[in-house]
Amino acid sequence: MNDRVKLDEPYDMAAVKADISRLTQQVTDVMSTLGSLANSQARRGVRQARANVDGLVSEASDRAGAVAEAAKGAAASIEDTLSDVILERPLASVLLAVGLGFLIGATWRR
């Protein structure tokens, strides 16, 4: 009941070659399956990344639109306020404009 092969026993080379061939085929099949799984995981990752980027771009676009609308509202509010001030105090508004023009001109000359 010795599990060791005795050196004087003849080896069945055909059986050994067949075993090696089967083992090689099994390793090839496993590697092919692993390659397919890795490829499908990579594709899934790319699809997920693309969906994430699309979502971020959409969100950024929505935020930019909201900021633009807020800027429009602020500009309209400033315009209304200036219009009211000019109508209420026309002389002060003209003097303020002349003073600002003088300061800008003096600064620009330097």
Query: In sequence order, what are the residues at sequence separation of 6 or more whose Cβ sits closer than 8 angstroms to the Cβ of residue 11?
Result: 5
Instruction: Write the CA distances from 2 to 5, 6, 7, 43, integer angstroms.
Output: 8, 9, 13, 53
> Two tokens at 99?
């003073």
Does 72 fall in a domain?
A: yes
Does 4 fall in a domain?
A: no
Host domain of residue 17: 13-82
Residue-wise pLDDT tens digits, 22-53:
999 998 989 989 888 888 888 898 889 888 88
The yes-or-no verdict on residue 1 having pLDDT over 50 is: no
Look at the chain and report how many structural domains it folds into: 1
- Please state the pTM of the whole predicted model: 0.44
Q: What's the rounded Cα separation, in Å, for the pair 74 and 67?
A: 10
